[in-house]
Structure 1
Amino acid sequence: MRDLGAGFGHLLKGQRWVARHGRSYGFGLLPGLITLVLYAAALTALALWGEDLVAWATPFADDWSSPWSGLFRGFLTAVLFALALLLAVLTFTAVTLLIGQPFYESLSERVDRDVSPDGTAPESALPFWRDLWISGRDSLRILVRAAVWGVLLFAAGFIPVIGQTVVPVIGFFVTGFFLTEELASVALQRRGVQLRERLALLRSRKLLVWGFGTPLGLAFLVPFVAVFLMPGAVAGATLLARELLGEETRDGAATGDGKENSPEADGTHRM
């Protein structure tokens, strides 16, 4: 349970950090605003024409007697919109990070320098275009995993009682895990930690990850909130990444010994 509190603590510390650094916060808002406009347009289009799309996809229901055809298509339209909303929550972070790669890389480095005992930050040895390619490729892999989970949870939602109680809770924890992976990837990729190693690190501290990502995922359900929380979420995920790797902070407190949770401990190696 301590890790749950520590994860949430990193989320709060990240928000406080950007609150103290107004310029970094302002630049960090831009990618989220761009992504929000794109997603709002897509969801609005789905709300306007989703019923027509469902009608086109279910021609077999044309001959059904009233009110069954309308009820069936109305239900499918609602399910389609709910699934699109879930995917929007799952993918918002990945798309925003991809659009705002230079902004968030700079923000994450500033956090590292601010909390590091020697005032330095790890830097990627790769050119910018290579980092961008790796980030996009890994984000796509994570989105595929998230989509698989989304389909499974969607199907499980039809199970009586469990589908309306247990499944939504599992969904929030799954969302929290993938959100944390995407956000922490900014700092971890800069350190040369590959996707497989990142997932191993996160799985080794699931409570820490859930404590950070699950409340953030819940907050992201509120319109516009994701935009304003993104800069602080990147800052907080940088602090979380330091704890996962056992890196010390400026106040002299180690965030962990880094041995049992490091990639080297499970037989993997950095790039």
Structure 2
Amino acid sequence: MRHRISELLAGAGLFLRGFGTWAKSPGLMALGAVPALIVGSLMLALVIFLGFQVGGWAEAMTPFADAWDAQWSGVLRLALGLGLLVGVVVLCVLTFAAVTLAVGDPFYERISRSVEDSLGGLPAREEPGFWTSLGKGLRDAAVLIGMAIGTGMMVFVVGLIPVVGTVVGIALGAILGGRALARELTGHAGDARGMSLAERRALLRTRPWRTLGFGIVTYLLLLVPGVAVVATPVAIVGATLLVRDLRGEPTAAPRAAS
């Protein structure tokens, strides 16, 4: 258990180190915040709108409860509404990440490459063309949105469990959402090394608790609207550090020769 906790903390630490890049390269990080600001504003509006709808949805889904005692029908519809809301939040967080990564792909690639260069760089390799990069970005976004839908539905179902459903649903959303985010955010660092998606997944599985620690912290910070704007480019930095760490590559800048 102690080892798992230390691994979770180590993964979280890799993410948090990314905040230091705001001091080192504020202009570059600000570019990475622009897509997050635009997409995040739209997602926040969507969450607020849907939040006002879940009560009506819960009532529409339980017409049989109209004949129940008002107290019990209220409890059922409250649980259903909370389950729907948690599922919507998970769906929106992962969709936010997918769309933001697709829209801001050139910025996030520059951020990841800047981190690589500061830590010693990478062997030269042929760069993919614009259309290849665009196609990959759209494909990755579609995969993450598909995972978001599946995760949101699963969290909604778990949220229906009496008494503990909402808490368990929130925890499950953080775990599944964190894993999905860790996989997608490491895309730039993986591509820079010529890794396939299967190879990247295998790499993340070598230290699952460290990967999960990174992913959960990312997920939780992306839940907070204002923080998500600042944290999105930080997540790219952290994901690059995560890949380097899992591959045994340096994650600290080389010392200058004296």
Where structure 1 has 5 or more consecutive residues not aligned to the other structure, the ranges are: 253-271
**2:86 aligns to what?**
82
Q: Is the CA contact (8 Å cut-off) linking 1:113 and 1:121 kept in structure 2?
A: no
**2:136 aligns to what?**
134
2: CA distance, partners of 1:159 / 1:58? 16
**1:35 aligns to what?**
39
1: CA distance, partners of 2:135 / 2:67? 50
**2:19 aligns to what?**
15
Farther-moved stretch of structure 1 (68-77 vs 80-89): 68-77
**1:242 aligns to what?**
244
1: CA distance, partners of 2:78 / 2:161? 20
2: CA distance, partners of 1:62 / 1:158? 15
**2:108 aligns to what?**
104
Q: Which of 229, 251, 256 lines up with 2:254 in the alignment?
A: 251
Q: Is the CA contact (8 Å cut-off) linking 1:32 and 1:230 kept in structure 2?
A: yes
AA in 2 matched with 1:181: R
Q: CA RMSD in A?
A: 2.9
Percentage of pairs with the same residue: 35
Deviations 1:147-205 (A, max 9, x none): 33333333233335663555543432222211111211122123222222222211221
Farther-moved stretch of structure 1 (24-33 vs 59-68): 59-68
2: CA distance, partners of 1:89 / 1:245? 28
2: CA distance, partners of 1:61 / 1:4? 45
Offset at residue 6 of structure 1 (A): 2.6
**1:189 aligns to what?**
191
Offset at residue 63 of structure 1 (A): 6.3
Q: Is the CA contact (8 Å cut-off) linking 1:28 and 1:104 kept in structure 2?
A: yes
Q: Is the CA contact (8 Å cut-off) linking 1:187 and 1:241 kept in structure 2?
A: yes
Q: Which of 163, 166, 178 lines up with 1:176 in the alignment?
A: 178
**1:268 aligns to what?**
none
Q: Under a length normalisation based on structure 2, what TM-score does the superposition of the two structures give?
A: 0.82
Task: Return closer, same or farther for 1:70/1:47 CA change in 2, 3 Å cut-off.
Answer: farther
Task: Return closer, same or farther for 1:63/1:235 CA change in 2, 3 Å cut-off.
Answer: closer
Task: Return closer, same or farther for 1:37/1:155 CA change in 2, 3 Å cut-off.
Answer: same
Where structure 2 has 5 or more consecutive residues not aligned to the other structure, the ranges are: none
Q: Is the CA contact (8 Å cut-off) linking 1:109 and 1:122 kept in structure 2?
A: no
Offset at residue 120 of structure 1 (A): 4.8
Whether 1:151 aligns to 2:153 is: yes
Task: Return closer, same or farther for 1:167/1:43 CA change in 2, 3 Å cut-off.
Answer: closer
Q: Under a length normalisation based on structure 1, what TM-score does the superposition of the two structures give?
A: 0.78
Task: Return closer, same or farther for 1:66/1:161 CA change in 2, 3 Å cut-off.
Answer: closer
SS at match of 1:224: helix
2: CA distance, partners of 1:32 / 1:246? 31
1: CA distance, partners of 2:30 / 2:84? 35
Task: Return closer, same or farther for 1:174/1:124 CA change in 2, 3 Å cut-off.
Answer: farther
AA in 2 matched with 1:251: P
Deviations 1:93-133 (A, max 9, x none): 222111100110111111111111xx457656321221121
Offset at residue 218 of structure 1 (A): 1.9
Deviations 1:73-106 (A, max 9, x none): 5554443333211211222222211110011011
Offset at residue 34 of structure 1 (A): 0.8
